[in-house]
Amino acid sequence: MAPRLTDQRDIDFVLYEQFKADSFLQSDKYKAFNRKMFDMVVKEAKNLATKEIFPTYAECDKDGVRFENGAVNVSECLRKPHQLLVEGEWGALTESQDYGGQGLPFTIAQAALEYLIGANYVLMTYPILGHGAGKMINLYGTPKQKELFLQKLYTGVWGGTMLLTEPGAGSDVGALTTSAKKRDDGLYDITGSKIFITNGEQNLTQNIIHPVLARIEGAPAGTKGISLFIVPKIWVNEDGSLGEPNDVVCTGVEKKMGLHGSPTCSMSLGSKGKCMGYLLGKPNQGMEVMFHMMNEVRLEVGTQAFTSANLAYQHALDYAKLRLQGRSIENIADHGAAQVPIIRHPDVKRMLLKMKAYVEGLRSLIYYVAFCFDKEETSKDEAEILKYSNLIGILTPVVKAYTSEKGFDVCVEAMQVFGGYGYTKEYPVEQMVRDCKIASIYEGANGIQAMDFLGRKVAGSKGQMLKTLVHEINLTLEAAKKQDRLKGLAEKLESGVALLETTCTNASRAMFSAHAASAFASAHPLLEATGDIIMGWMLLWRAVIADEKLQSKDASFYKGKIKAAEFFILTILPATLGRLTAITYENNPAADMDEDLF
Protein backbone atom coordinates (compact mmCIF):
# COMPACT_ATOMS: atom_id res chain seq x y z
CA MET A 1 0.00 0.00 0.00
CA ALA A 2 1.36 3.43 -0.97
CA PRO A 3 2.14 5.91 1.84
CA ARG A 4 -0.50 8.51 2.61
CA LEU A 5 -0.32 11.77 0.68
CA THR A 6 -0.22 13.86 3.82
CA ASP A 7 -1.10 13.92 7.52
CA GLN A 8 -4.78 14.72 7.91
CA ARG A 9 -4.52 14.73 11.70
CA ASP A 10 -1.87 17.44 11.55
CA ILE A 11 -3.92 19.42 9.03
CA ASP A 12 -6.84 19.38 11.49
CA PHE A 13 -4.48 20.45 14.26
CA VAL A 14 -3.29 23.45 12.25
CA LEU A 15 -6.75 24.41 11.03
CA TYR A 16 -8.76 24.11 14.21
CA GLU A 17 -6.34 24.01 17.15
CA GLN A 18 -3.64 26.43 16.02
CA PHE A 19 -5.53 28.89 13.81
CA LYS A 20 -9.14 28.16 14.81
CA ALA A 21 -10.35 28.39 11.21
CA ASP A 22 -13.93 27.67 12.26
CA SER A 23 -13.98 31.17 13.79
CA PHE A 24 -14.39 32.51 10.25
CA LEU A 25 -17.91 31.11 10.33
CA GLN A 26 -18.81 34.09 12.52
CA SER A 27 -17.92 36.58 9.78
CA ASP A 28 -20.51 37.90 7.34
CA LYS A 29 -18.53 36.58 4.38
CA TYR A 30 -18.61 32.93 5.47
CA LYS A 31 -21.80 32.70 7.52
CA ALA A 32 -23.40 30.44 4.89
CA PHE A 33 -20.82 27.73 5.69
CA ASN A 34 -20.38 25.46 8.68
CA ARG A 35 -17.56 23.26 10.03
CA LYS A 36 -19.05 20.18 8.39
CA MET A 37 -18.95 21.88 4.98
CA PHE A 38 -15.31 22.90 5.49
CA ASP A 39 -14.38 19.33 6.36
CA MET A 40 -16.35 17.96 3.42
CA VAL A 41 -14.38 20.08 0.96
CA VAL A 42 -11.08 18.84 2.37
CA LYS A 43 -12.34 15.25 2.37
CA GLU A 44 -13.40 15.50 -1.28
CA ALA A 45 -10.02 16.98 -2.18
CA LYS A 46 -8.36 14.05 -0.40
CA ASN A 47 -10.45 11.50 -2.31
CA LEU A 48 -9.84 13.17 -5.67
CA ALA A 49 -6.13 13.51 -4.99
CA THR A 50 -5.68 9.95 -3.78
CA LYS A 51 -7.83 8.09 -6.28
CA GLU A 52 -7.51 10.11 -9.47
CA ILE A 53 -4.57 12.54 -9.36
CA PHE A 54 -1.70 10.78 -7.57
CA PRO A 55 -1.76 7.79 -9.96
CA THR A 56 -0.71 10.26 -12.71
CA TYR A 57 2.28 11.58 -10.74
CA ALA A 58 4.94 9.18 -12.03
CA GLU A 59 3.17 8.40 -15.30
CA CYS A 60 3.16 11.96 -16.64
CA ASP A 61 6.80 12.33 -15.61
CA LYS A 62 7.64 9.22 -17.62
CA ASP A 63 5.56 10.29 -20.64
CA GLY A 64 6.80 13.88 -20.74
CA VAL A 65 5.41 16.18 -23.46
CA ARG A 66 5.59 15.98 -27.26
CA PHE A 67 6.19 19.08 -29.39
CA GLU A 68 5.33 18.83 -33.09
CA ASN A 69 4.68 21.64 -35.60
CA GLY A 70 3.88 24.22 -32.95
CA ALA A 71 1.54 21.92 -31.03
CA VAL A 72 2.20 20.40 -27.60
CA ASN A 73 0.65 17.12 -26.51
CA VAL A 74 0.79 16.36 -22.80
CA SER A 75 0.45 12.94 -21.17
CA GLU A 76 -2.96 11.48 -21.85
CA CYS A 77 -3.18 10.32 -18.24
CA LEU A 78 -3.85 13.94 -17.22
CA ARG A 79 -7.05 14.28 -19.25
CA LYS A 80 -9.50 12.54 -16.92
CA PRO A 81 -8.35 14.13 -13.64
CA HIS A 82 -8.18 17.53 -15.36
CA GLN A 83 -11.80 17.13 -16.40
CA LEU A 84 -12.71 16.18 -12.83
CA LEU A 85 -10.99 19.36 -11.60
CA VAL A 86 -13.11 21.37 -14.05
CA GLU A 87 -16.34 19.62 -13.12
CA GLY A 88 -15.66 20.03 -9.40
CA GLU A 89 -14.76 23.74 -9.77
CA TRP A 90 -11.46 23.22 -7.95
CA GLY A 91 -9.73 26.04 -9.82
CA ALA A 92 -11.05 28.97 -7.80
CA LEU A 93 -11.69 27.73 -4.29
CA THR A 94 -11.67 31.19 -2.71
CA GLU A 95 -13.52 33.08 -5.43
CA SER A 96 -17.18 34.02 -5.74
CA GLN A 97 -19.63 31.29 -6.66
CA ASP A 98 -21.01 33.71 -9.26
CA TYR A 99 -17.93 33.02 -11.38
CA GLY A 100 -17.55 29.30 -10.73
CA GLY A 101 -15.65 29.51 -7.46
CA GLN A 102 -16.48 27.93 -4.11
CA GLY A 103 -16.19 31.04 -1.94
CA LEU A 104 -14.04 29.39 0.73
CA PRO A 105 -11.66 31.01 3.22
CA PHE A 106 -8.02 30.89 2.11
CA THR A 107 -7.17 28.79 5.17
CA ILE A 108 -9.61 26.00 4.26
CA ALA A 109 -8.64 26.22 0.60
CA GLN A 110 -5.02 25.73 1.63
CA ALA A 111 -5.91 22.39 3.20
CA ALA A 112 -7.62 21.23 0.00
CA LEU A 113 -4.68 22.46 -2.07
CA GLU A 114 -2.23 20.56 0.11
CA TYR A 115 -3.84 17.34 -1.11
CA LEU A 116 -4.31 18.41 -4.73
CA ILE A 117 -0.89 20.01 -5.26
CA GLY A 118 0.84 17.25 -3.33
CA ALA A 119 -0.75 14.60 -5.54
CA ASN A 120 0.60 16.09 -8.79
CA TYR A 121 1.71 19.69 -9.10
CA VAL A 122 2.05 19.33 -12.88
CA LEU A 123 -1.70 18.80 -13.18
CA MET A 124 -2.53 21.54 -10.70
CA THR A 125 -0.63 24.17 -12.69
CA TYR A 126 -3.62 24.26 -15.05
CA PRO A 127 -6.24 25.47 -12.53
CA ILE A 128 -3.63 27.54 -10.66
CA LEU A 129 -2.56 29.49 -13.75
CA GLY A 130 -6.16 29.79 -14.94
CA HIS A 131 -7.10 31.24 -11.58
CA GLY A 132 -4.14 33.64 -11.65
CA ALA A 133 -5.10 35.00 -15.07
CA GLY A 134 -8.72 35.24 -14.02
CA LYS A 135 -7.86 37.03 -10.78
CA MET A 136 -6.17 39.87 -12.68
CA ILE A 137 -9.17 40.22 -14.97
CA ASN A 138 -11.49 40.13 -11.97
CA LEU A 139 -9.58 42.98 -10.29
CA TYR A 140 -8.78 45.17 -13.30
CA GLY A 141 -10.87 44.03 -16.26
CA THR A 142 -13.76 45.80 -17.89
CA PRO A 143 -17.26 44.33 -17.53
CA LYS A 144 -16.97 42.93 -21.06
CA GLN A 145 -13.59 41.31 -20.33
CA LYS A 146 -15.02 39.69 -17.23
CA GLU A 147 -18.00 38.44 -19.22
CA LEU A 148 -15.79 36.91 -21.91
CA PHE A 149 -13.06 35.33 -19.82
CA LEU A 150 -13.60 35.14 -16.09
CA GLN A 151 -15.84 32.13 -15.53
CA LYS A 152 -14.06 29.90 -18.04
CA LEU A 153 -10.68 30.74 -16.51
CA TYR A 154 -11.88 30.22 -12.94
CA THR A 155 -13.54 26.89 -13.74
CA GLY A 156 -10.57 25.67 -15.82
CA VAL A 157 -12.49 25.26 -19.07
CA TRP A 158 -9.84 27.54 -20.56
CA GLY A 159 -6.20 27.52 -19.56
CA GLY A 160 -4.19 30.51 -18.44
CA THR A 161 -0.52 31.51 -18.41
CA MET A 162 1.72 34.44 -17.55
CA LEU A 163 3.92 35.76 -20.39
CA LEU A 164 6.53 37.73 -18.51
CA THR A 165 10.08 36.43 -19.07
CA GLU A 166 12.12 37.26 -22.17
CA PRO A 167 15.50 35.92 -23.35
CA GLY A 168 17.32 39.24 -22.85
CA ALA A 169 15.51 40.34 -19.72
CA GLY A 170 14.94 37.40 -17.36
CA SER A 171 14.30 38.72 -13.87
CA ASP A 172 15.00 42.27 -15.07
CA VAL A 173 11.42 42.73 -16.21
CA GLY A 174 11.93 46.40 -17.03
CA ALA A 175 14.27 45.41 -19.88
CA LEU A 176 11.55 43.61 -21.85
CA THR A 177 11.21 44.41 -25.57
CA THR A 178 7.76 43.04 -26.40
CA SER A 179 5.81 45.95 -27.88
CA ALA A 180 2.17 46.95 -28.24
CA LYS A 181 0.66 49.33 -30.77
CA LYS A 182 -2.88 50.64 -30.41
CA ARG A 183 -5.28 49.96 -33.26
CA ASP A 184 -8.19 52.05 -34.45
CA ASP A 185 -10.67 49.59 -32.91
CA GLY A 186 -9.16 50.00 -29.42
CA LEU A 187 -7.33 46.67 -29.46
CA TYR A 188 -3.53 46.38 -29.57
CA ASP A 189 -1.14 44.67 -31.95
CA ILE A 190 1.42 42.71 -29.92
CA THR A 191 4.90 41.80 -31.16
CA GLY A 192 7.64 39.97 -29.26
CA SER A 193 8.82 36.70 -27.79
CA LYS A 194 8.67 35.11 -24.36
CA ILE A 195 10.40 32.14 -22.73
CA PHE A 196 9.86 29.77 -19.79
CA ILE A 197 6.07 29.89 -20.17
CA THR A 198 4.38 27.12 -18.19
CA ASN A 199 1.53 25.58 -20.21
CA GLY A 200 2.07 28.16 -22.97
CA GLU A 201 0.78 25.55 -25.38
CA GLN A 202 -1.08 22.34 -24.47
CA ASN A 203 -3.95 20.16 -25.61
CA LEU A 204 -5.99 19.83 -22.41
CA THR A 205 -8.11 22.99 -22.78
CA GLN A 206 -9.95 24.35 -25.82
CA ASN A 207 -8.41 27.80 -25.42
CA ILE A 208 -5.53 29.45 -23.56
CA ILE A 209 -5.67 33.03 -22.29
CA HIS A 210 -2.24 34.67 -22.14
CA PRO A 211 -1.72 37.73 -19.92
CA VAL A 212 1.23 39.41 -21.68
CA LEU A 213 3.55 42.12 -20.36
CA ALA A 214 4.50 44.56 -23.12
CA ARG A 215 5.43 48.20 -23.65
CA ILE A 216 3.10 50.49 -25.57
CA GLU A 217 4.94 52.51 -28.19
CA GLY A 218 6.25 55.72 -26.62
CA ALA A 219 5.88 54.46 -23.01
CA PRO A 220 8.62 55.23 -20.45
CA ALA A 221 11.59 52.90 -20.10
CA GLY A 222 11.83 50.43 -17.24
CA THR A 223 9.01 48.91 -15.23
CA LYS A 224 7.07 52.19 -15.15
CA GLY A 225 6.29 51.84 -18.84
CA ILE A 226 4.98 48.26 -18.82
CA SER A 227 1.36 47.42 -19.59
CA LEU A 228 -0.55 44.14 -19.39
CA PHE A 229 -2.62 42.65 -22.20
CA ILE A 230 -5.11 39.80 -22.53
CA VAL A 231 -4.03 37.75 -25.56
CA PRO A 232 -6.17 34.67 -26.32
CA LYS A 233 -4.71 31.74 -28.23
CA ILE A 234 -7.98 31.60 -30.13
CA TRP A 235 -9.84 34.87 -30.51
CA VAL A 236 -13.04 35.16 -28.50
CA ASN A 237 -15.97 36.74 -30.31
CA GLU A 238 -18.29 39.29 -28.76
CA ASP A 239 -20.87 36.57 -28.02
CA GLY A 240 -18.28 34.42 -26.26
CA SER A 241 -17.85 31.92 -29.08
CA LEU A 242 -14.42 31.02 -30.40
CA GLY A 243 -13.20 32.68 -33.58
CA GLU A 244 -9.96 32.43 -35.55
CA PRO A 245 -6.58 31.47 -34.07
CA ASN A 246 -4.56 34.44 -32.84
CA ASP A 247 -0.97 34.96 -33.99
CA VAL A 248 0.49 33.26 -30.89
CA VAL A 249 2.86 30.38 -31.65
CA CYS A 250 4.84 27.97 -29.49
CA THR A 251 8.35 27.71 -30.96
CA GLY A 252 9.70 25.02 -28.63
CA VAL A 253 9.59 23.34 -25.22
CA GLU A 254 12.38 23.07 -22.68
CA LYS A 255 14.00 19.79 -21.62
CA LYS A 256 14.11 20.15 -17.87
CA MET A 257 15.55 18.48 -14.78
CA GLY A 258 12.06 17.98 -13.36
CA LEU A 259 8.36 18.61 -13.99
CA HIS A 260 8.70 16.54 -17.17
CA GLY A 261 4.94 16.36 -17.59
CA SER A 262 4.60 20.15 -17.74
CA PRO A 263 5.30 22.00 -21.01
CA THR A 264 7.66 24.94 -20.49
CA CYS A 265 7.33 26.86 -23.74
CA SER A 266 9.01 29.51 -25.85
CA MET A 267 6.34 31.72 -27.40
CA SER A 268 6.32 34.01 -30.42
CA LEU A 269 3.73 36.80 -30.64
CA GLY A 270 2.89 38.59 -33.87
CA SER A 271 5.42 36.87 -36.13
CA LYS A 272 2.85 37.28 -38.91
CA GLY A 273 1.78 40.72 -37.72
CA LYS A 274 -1.61 39.47 -36.59
CA CYS A 275 -1.40 39.09 -32.80
CA MET A 276 -4.17 41.07 -31.07
CA GLY A 277 -4.81 41.73 -27.40
CA TYR A 278 -6.98 43.71 -24.99
CA LEU A 279 -5.37 46.20 -22.63
CA LEU A 280 -5.98 45.05 -19.04
CA GLY A 281 -6.26 47.98 -16.66
CA LYS A 282 -4.65 51.27 -17.64
CA PRO A 283 -1.59 51.96 -19.79
CA ASN A 284 1.68 51.52 -17.86
CA GLN A 285 -0.17 49.73 -15.04
CA GLY A 286 1.13 46.28 -15.89
CA MET A 287 3.43 45.74 -12.92
CA GLU A 288 0.79 46.93 -10.46
CA VAL A 289 -1.73 44.50 -11.94
CA MET A 290 0.73 41.63 -11.87
CA PHE A 291 1.84 42.21 -8.28
CA HIS A 292 -1.76 41.85 -7.12
CA MET A 293 -1.56 38.16 -7.98
CA MET A 294 2.05 37.56 -6.90
CA ASN A 295 1.39 37.08 -3.17
CA GLU A 296 -0.98 34.21 -3.94
CA VAL A 297 1.33 32.79 -6.62
CA ARG A 298 4.33 32.80 -4.28
CA LEU A 299 2.25 31.13 -1.59
CA GLU A 300 1.39 28.44 -4.16
CA VAL A 301 5.07 28.00 -5.07
CA GLY A 302 5.82 27.59 -1.38
CA THR A 303 3.01 25.04 -1.23
CA GLN A 304 4.53 23.17 -4.17
CA ALA A 305 7.87 22.85 -2.35
CA PHE A 306 6.23 22.04 0.97
CA THR A 307 4.02 19.30 -0.48
CA SER A 308 7.02 17.77 -2.26
CA ALA A 309 8.82 17.74 1.09
CA ASN A 310 5.81 16.35 2.89
CA LEU A 311 5.33 13.61 0.31
CA ALA A 312 9.02 12.70 0.47
CA TYR A 313 8.85 12.57 4.27
CA GLN A 314 5.77 10.32 4.22
CA HIS A 315 7.54 7.92 1.84
CA ALA A 316 10.76 7.95 3.87
CA LEU A 317 8.85 7.35 7.11
CA ASP A 318 6.94 4.45 5.62
CA TYR A 319 10.15 2.96 4.17
CA ALA A 320 12.05 3.34 7.45
CA LYS A 321 9.35 1.41 9.31
CA LEU A 322 9.46 -1.49 6.85
CA ARG A 323 13.10 -1.70 5.75
CA LEU A 324 15.03 -4.27 7.84
CA GLN A 325 18.75 -3.66 8.08
CA GLY A 326 21.35 -4.00 10.82
CA ARG A 327 21.03 -4.74 14.52
CA SER A 328 19.74 -2.39 17.18
CA ILE A 329 22.25 -0.38 19.20
CA GLU A 330 21.34 -2.46 22.26
CA ASN A 331 22.28 -5.68 20.44
CA ILE A 332 25.11 -4.34 18.30
CA ALA A 333 27.59 -6.90 19.64
CA ASP A 334 25.22 -9.83 19.15
CA HIS A 335 25.89 -11.03 15.61
CA GLY A 336 23.01 -13.45 15.89
CA ALA A 337 20.46 -10.76 16.70
CA ALA A 338 17.64 -10.18 14.26
CA GLN A 339 17.66 -7.26 11.87
CA VAL A 340 15.51 -4.32 12.89
CA PRO A 341 13.62 -1.67 10.92
CA ILE A 342 15.99 1.17 10.15
CA ILE A 343 13.74 3.61 12.00
CA ARG A 344 15.27 2.22 15.20
CA HIS A 345 18.75 3.47 14.28
CA PRO A 346 19.60 6.83 15.94
CA ASP A 347 20.86 8.52 12.79
CA VAL A 348 17.73 7.55 10.85
CA LYS A 349 15.65 8.89 13.73
CA ARG A 350 17.64 12.12 13.48
CA MET A 351 16.90 12.47 9.78
CA LEU A 352 13.21 11.67 10.21
CA LEU A 353 12.79 14.05 13.14
CA LYS A 354 14.53 16.79 11.18
CA MET A 355 12.14 16.20 8.27
CA LYS A 356 9.15 16.09 10.62
CA ALA A 357 10.15 19.41 12.21
CA TYR A 358 10.52 21.16 8.86
CA VAL A 359 7.39 19.67 7.33
CA GLU A 360 5.18 20.53 10.30
CA GLY A 361 6.72 23.97 10.76
CA LEU A 362 6.36 24.77 7.06
CA ARG A 363 2.76 23.59 7.08
CA SER A 364 1.98 26.01 9.91
CA LEU A 365 3.83 28.85 8.18
CA ILE A 366 2.01 28.40 4.88
CA TYR A 367 -1.39 28.07 6.55
CA TYR A 368 -0.59 31.11 8.66
CA VAL A 369 -0.11 33.27 5.57
CA ALA A 370 -3.44 31.97 4.22
CA PHE A 371 -4.94 32.78 7.64
CA CYS A 372 -3.55 36.33 7.35
CA PHE A 373 -5.26 36.70 3.95
CA ASP A 374 -8.55 35.73 5.59
CA LYS A 375 -8.11 38.04 8.57
CA GLU A 376 -7.23 40.93 6.27
CA GLU A 377 -10.41 40.34 4.24
CA THR A 378 -12.84 39.69 7.08
CA SER A 379 -11.69 42.23 9.67
CA LYS A 380 -13.55 45.50 10.06
CA ASP A 381 -10.87 47.11 12.21
CA GLU A 382 -8.37 49.25 10.29
CA ALA A 383 -5.51 48.59 12.71
CA GLU A 384 -6.05 44.85 12.46
CA ILE A 385 -6.23 45.02 8.67
CA LEU A 386 -2.91 46.89 8.63
CA LYS A 387 -1.38 44.30 10.97
CA TYR A 388 -2.26 41.40 8.71
CA SER A 389 -1.24 43.33 5.62
CA ASN A 390 2.19 43.86 7.20
CA LEU A 391 2.45 40.19 8.08
CA ILE A 392 1.56 39.13 4.53
CA GLY A 393 4.11 41.57 3.17
CA ILE A 394 7.07 40.40 5.24
CA LEU A 395 6.17 36.68 5.18
CA THR A 396 5.56 36.32 1.44
CA PRO A 397 9.24 36.35 0.37
CA VAL A 398 10.05 34.07 3.32
CA VAL A 399 7.36 31.58 2.33
CA LYS A 400 8.56 31.52 -1.27
CA ALA A 401 12.32 31.43 -0.68
CA TYR A 402 12.70 29.62 2.65
CA THR A 403 10.05 27.00 1.94
CA SER A 404 11.44 26.25 -1.51
CA GLU A 405 14.96 25.73 -0.15
CA LYS A 406 14.08 23.80 2.99
CA GLY A 407 11.49 21.79 1.08
CA PHE A 408 14.20 20.72 -1.36
CA ASP A 409 16.51 19.88 1.55
CA VAL A 410 13.84 17.62 3.04
CA CYS A 411 13.48 15.80 -0.30
CA VAL A 412 17.24 15.24 -0.38
CA GLU A 413 17.16 13.99 3.23
CA ALA A 414 14.37 11.58 2.33
CA MET A 415 16.48 10.20 -0.51
CA GLN A 416 19.24 9.60 2.03
CA VAL A 417 16.88 7.50 4.17
CA PHE A 418 16.26 5.25 1.17
CA GLY A 419 20.00 4.88 0.59
CA GLY A 420 20.93 3.62 -2.86
CA TYR A 421 17.31 2.80 -3.66
CA GLY A 422 16.40 6.46 -3.28
CA TYR A 423 18.71 7.33 -6.16
CA THR A 424 16.89 4.95 -8.50
CA LYS A 425 13.60 5.32 -10.31
CA GLU A 426 12.27 2.28 -8.46
CA TYR A 427 11.11 4.69 -5.76
CA PRO A 428 9.48 8.10 -6.36
CA VAL A 429 11.75 10.16 -4.10
CA GLU A 430 14.20 10.92 -6.92
CA GLN A 431 11.33 12.53 -8.85
CA MET A 432 10.38 14.59 -5.81
CA VAL A 433 13.93 15.92 -5.62
CA ARG A 434 13.90 16.83 -9.32
CA ASP A 435 10.45 18.39 -9.27
CA CYS A 436 11.03 20.40 -6.10
CA LYS A 437 14.18 22.21 -7.20
CA ILE A 438 12.43 24.60 -9.61
CA ALA A 439 10.51 26.23 -6.73
CA SER A 440 13.60 28.19 -5.65
CA ILE A 441 14.11 29.49 -9.19
CA TYR A 442 10.83 30.55 -10.76
CA GLU A 443 8.31 33.22 -9.74
CA GLY A 444 11.24 35.39 -8.65
CA ALA A 445 14.51 33.58 -7.92
CA ASN A 446 15.33 33.38 -4.23
CA GLY A 447 18.09 35.97 -4.45
CA ILE A 448 15.47 38.43 -5.68
CA GLN A 449 13.13 37.40 -2.86
CA ALA A 450 15.95 38.20 -0.42
CA MET A 451 16.47 41.63 -1.97
CA ASP A 452 12.72 42.26 -1.74
CA PHE A 453 12.74 41.12 1.89
CA LEU A 454 15.57 43.44 2.87
CA GLY A 455 14.96 46.39 0.58
CA ARG A 456 11.16 46.65 0.56
CA LYS A 457 9.90 44.74 3.57
CA VAL A 458 12.50 45.51 6.27
CA ALA A 459 14.14 48.78 5.22
CA GLY A 460 11.32 50.03 2.98
CA SER A 461 8.69 49.86 5.73
CA LYS A 462 11.03 51.57 8.23
CA GLY A 463 10.90 48.45 10.34
CA GLN A 464 7.12 48.41 10.78
CA MET A 465 6.62 45.02 9.12
CA LEU A 466 9.36 43.48 11.25
CA LYS A 467 7.92 45.03 14.42
CA THR A 468 4.53 43.52 13.61
CA LEU A 469 6.09 40.10 13.10
CA VAL A 470 8.16 40.27 16.28
CA HIS A 471 5.09 41.32 18.29
CA GLU A 472 3.24 38.21 17.15
CA ILE A 473 6.22 35.98 17.96
CA ASN A 474 6.47 37.53 21.43
CA LEU A 475 2.87 36.56 22.17
CA THR A 476 3.84 32.92 21.69
CA LEU A 477 7.02 33.35 23.73
CA GLU A 478 5.07 34.76 26.67
CA ALA A 479 2.62 31.86 26.56
CA ALA A 480 5.45 29.31 26.38
CA LYS A 481 7.30 30.85 29.35
CA LYS A 482 4.28 30.05 31.52
CA GLN A 483 4.65 26.34 30.80
CA ASP A 484 7.49 24.65 32.70
CA ARG A 485 8.23 22.18 29.94
CA LEU A 486 8.64 24.93 27.33
CA LYS A 487 10.18 27.80 29.28
CA GLY A 488 13.76 26.92 28.33
CA LEU A 489 12.86 26.60 24.66
CA ALA A 490 11.11 29.97 24.74
CA GLU A 491 14.15 31.66 26.26
CA LYS A 492 16.46 30.23 23.59
CA LEU A 493 14.14 31.36 20.80
CA GLU A 494 13.76 34.76 22.46
CA SER A 495 17.50 35.35 22.21
CA GLY A 496 17.30 34.55 18.50
CA VAL A 497 14.46 37.01 17.98
CA ALA A 498 16.42 39.76 19.71
CA LEU A 499 19.50 39.06 17.57
CA LEU A 500 17.35 39.08 14.43
CA GLU A 501 15.93 42.49 15.32
CA THR A 502 19.40 43.91 15.86
CA THR A 503 20.70 42.43 12.62
CA CYS A 504 17.75 43.76 10.62
CA THR A 505 18.19 47.22 12.17
CA ASN A 506 21.84 47.25 11.08
CA ALA A 507 20.78 46.07 7.65
CA SER A 508 18.29 48.91 7.29
CA ARG A 509 20.93 51.48 8.17
CA ALA A 510 23.40 49.97 5.72
CA MET A 511 20.79 50.15 2.96
CA PHE A 512 20.94 53.95 3.09
CA SER A 513 24.71 54.25 3.35
CA ALA A 514 27.79 53.59 1.28
CA HIS A 515 27.51 49.94 2.32
CA ALA A 516 24.32 49.12 0.39
CA ALA A 517 26.13 46.56 -1.80
CA SER A 518 27.37 44.74 1.30
CA ALA A 519 23.84 44.74 2.70
CA PHE A 520 22.43 43.14 -0.43
CA ALA A 521 25.25 40.57 -0.44
CA SER A 522 24.01 39.54 3.01
CA ALA A 523 20.31 39.63 2.12
CA HIS A 524 19.94 35.91 1.44
CA PRO A 525 21.64 34.76 4.66
CA LEU A 526 19.41 37.21 6.53
CA LEU A 527 16.26 35.86 4.89
CA GLU A 528 17.30 32.27 5.63
CA ALA A 529 17.98 33.11 9.28
CA THR A 530 14.61 34.88 9.49
CA GLY A 531 12.99 31.73 8.16
CA ASP A 532 14.67 29.71 10.89
CA ILE A 533 13.40 32.07 13.59
CA ILE A 534 9.89 31.88 12.15
CA MET A 535 10.16 28.09 11.98
CA GLY A 536 11.11 28.03 15.66
CA TRP A 537 8.12 30.27 16.38
CA MET A 538 5.68 28.01 14.53
CA LEU A 539 7.00 24.87 16.21
CA LEU A 540 6.92 26.48 19.66
CA TRP A 541 3.38 27.72 19.02
CA ARG A 542 2.37 24.15 18.20
CA ALA A 543 4.15 22.90 21.33
CA VAL A 544 2.27 25.40 23.54
CA ILE A 545 -1.01 23.90 22.34
CA ALA A 546 0.27 20.33 22.61
CA ASP A 547 1.64 20.73 26.13
CA GLU A 548 -1.85 21.29 27.47
CA LYS A 549 -3.16 18.08 25.90
CA LEU A 550 -0.59 15.48 26.93
CA GLN A 551 -3.14 13.69 29.11
CA SER A 552 -5.57 13.22 26.23
CA LYS A 553 -6.13 9.94 24.37
CA ASP A 554 -4.07 11.46 21.52
CA ALA A 555 -1.03 11.92 23.76
CA SER A 556 1.50 10.44 21.29
CA PHE A 557 0.44 12.91 18.62
CA TYR A 558 0.94 15.86 20.97
CA LYS A 559 4.25 14.54 22.34
CA GLY A 560 5.49 14.51 18.75
CA LYS A 561 4.81 18.25 18.48
CA ILE A 562 6.96 18.96 21.53
CA LYS A 563 9.78 16.73 20.28
CA ALA A 564 9.80 18.55 16.93
CA ALA A 565 10.08 21.91 18.70
CA GLU A 566 12.82 20.64 20.98
CA PHE A 567 14.82 19.23 18.09
CA PHE A 568 14.64 22.41 16.02
CA ILE A 569 15.29 24.90 18.80
CA LEU A 570 18.03 22.87 20.52
CA THR A 571 19.91 21.50 17.49
CA ILE A 572 19.22 23.79 14.51
CA LEU A 573 18.60 27.21 16.02
CA PRO A 574 22.13 27.51 17.55
CA ALA A 575 23.58 27.40 14.03
CA THR A 576 21.10 30.11 13.04
CA LEU A 577 22.40 32.38 15.78
CA GLY A 578 25.90 31.81 14.47
CA ARG A 579 24.82 32.80 10.96
CA LEU A 580 23.16 35.95 12.26
CA THR A 581 26.33 36.88 14.13
CA ALA A 582 28.38 36.30 10.98
CA ILE A 583 26.26 38.61 8.82
CA THR A 584 28.17 41.78 8.01
CA TYR A 585 26.95 44.94 6.37
CA GLU A 586 30.32 46.57 5.92
CA ASN A 587 33.07 45.35 3.63
CA ASN A 588 31.31 42.12 2.81
CA PRO A 589 33.86 40.03 0.86
CA ALA A 590 31.23 39.13 -1.73
CA ALA A 591 30.39 42.78 -2.42
CA ASP A 592 34.05 43.78 -2.61
CA MET A 593 35.08 40.87 -4.85
CA ASP A 594 36.37 42.12 -8.20
CA GLU A 595 35.18 40.16 -11.20
CA ASP A 596 38.71 39.34 -12.36
CA LEU A 597 39.48 37.61 -9.04
CA PHE A 598 37.13 34.72 -9.73
Highest mean pLDDT among 35-49, 172-186, 325-339, 510-524: 35-49
For residue 173, the model assigns a pLDDT of 78
Residue 1 has pLDDT above 60, yes or no: no
SS3 361: helix
Give CA angle at 194 (134, 170), nearest 5°. 100
pLDDT bin (cut points 50, 70, 90) of residue 133 is very high
pLDDT at residue number 512: 87
CA 448/CA 452 separation, integer angstroms: 6
Confidence of residue 3 (pLDDT cuts 50, 70, 90): low
Selecting among 114, 296, 443, 566, the annotated active-site residue is 443
Distance CA 283, CA 215 (A): 9
Are 188 and 180 spatial neighbours (Cβ–Cβ below 8 Å)?
yes
Q: How many CA atoms lie within 13 A of 56 on its CB side?
A: 29
The DSSP H or E segment spanning 119 is: helix 106-119
Distance, CA of 565 to CA of 18 (rounded, Å): 15
Kind plus residue range of the DSSP H or E element containing 180:
strand 179-182
Beta bridge partners of residue 438, listed in sequence order: none
Q: Considering only 69-83, 294-308, 312-326, which range has the smallest mean pLDDT?
A: 294-308
- What residues form DSSP beta bridges with 189? 181, 276
Is residue 382 flagged as an active site residue? no
| pLDDT tens-place string over residues 234-273 | 999 999 999 999 999 999 999 999 999 999 999 999 999 9
Percent of the chain beyond pLDDT 70?
Answer: 99
* pLDDT of amino acid 594: 87
What is the per-residue pLDDT across 438-454, written as a single tens digit (0 to 9) for each? Answer: 999 998 899 999 999 99
C-alpha 279/C-alpha 228 separation (Å) is 6
